[in-house]
Amino acid sequence: MDLNAWILLLKGAWTTLWISGVSIMIGVPTGLLIALVRQKKIPFVDQILGLYISITRSTPLVTLVLFLFLSLPSLGINLEKHVAAILSLALNTAAFNAEIWRSAIRNFSRDQHEAALACGMTPWVYFRYIMLPQIIAVSLPPLVNEMSFLIKGSPAIAIIGLVDLTRVTNRIASVTYEPLYPILGAGLIYIVIVGVLVKLQSVAEKKAHRLAV
């Protein structure tokens, strides 16, 4: 495989990275917000959010991509393909993240809440300095695991014409008639991306545990 092929693979990898990265930055805090709202048990709102999570977690990512890009125009909503890709990935990962956050919140010690109230802490101060650092420390491993799944599932965006790493791999293979080398190259790039993510998780976990103490 020549240099031009590697350059094309890296360009495809960049598309995969920035779209996945933006989706994660939207999906993680959105999942936390959903989890916090569901803890309030607000009638109707809780049922709607639960239905969204259930449907999203049960539906293939490619179906969500196609729905946002191809079906919404029939309702008068036209999304540019990059926006449709980011929104579909963000909605998908937010649903999974919401359950991760909800589990951490549900298992959080209520004694600390009572102690904080007894000390005169406001709900925001309690959440920001007591609860949040601890649920982050607990949630980091499954959150990073979900991020890696999202990156590996991101080839679904190629179906609407985005030239991501997997689509570039297919193009190179169809031109050169040698699929082995571009596939191995793409696999290597995915391994590096996920490996860096796991390394960042290790660093973040140490910092999170220090803040949680």
Question: What confidence score (pLDDT) does residue 198 get?
Answer: 87
37-46 pLDDT tens trace: 999 889 899 9
Residue whose tokens read 């990962």 = 93
For the chain, first and last CA: distance in Å?
Answer: 51
Cα gap 6→11, rounded to integer Å: 9
Task: Please state the domain extents for the chain.
Answer: 3-212
Q: Which CATH architecture has domain 3-212?
A: Orthogonal Bundle (1.10)
Closest alpha carbon to 86 in 33, 130, 26: 26
Cα gap 154→89, rounded to integer Å: 7
> What are the CA-CA distances from residue 34 to residues 59, 120, 122, 141, 201 (Å)?
19, 27, 21, 19, 23
102-146 pLDDT tens trace: 999 988 877 777 777 778 788 888 888 888 888 998 899 999 999
Question: What confidence score (pLDDT) does residue 97 get?
Answer: 97
Closest alpha carbon to 104 in 47, 58, 38: 38
Question: What confidence score (pLDDT) does residue 204 get?
Answer: 81
> What are the CA-CA distances from residue 194 to residues 20, 35, 112 (Å)?
12, 26, 36
The residue count of the chain comes to 213
DSSP for 162-191 reads: ---HHHHHHHHHHHHS--HHHHHHHHHHHH
Mean pLDDT split into 10-residue runs, the chain, 213 residues:
88 95 96 94 93 94 93 90 96 96 87 77 84 90 93 92 91 88 93 91 76 58
| Residue 104, H or E segment | helix 81-106
Question: What confidence score (pLDDT) does residue 100 get?
Answer: 96
DSSP-assigned letter for residue 162: -
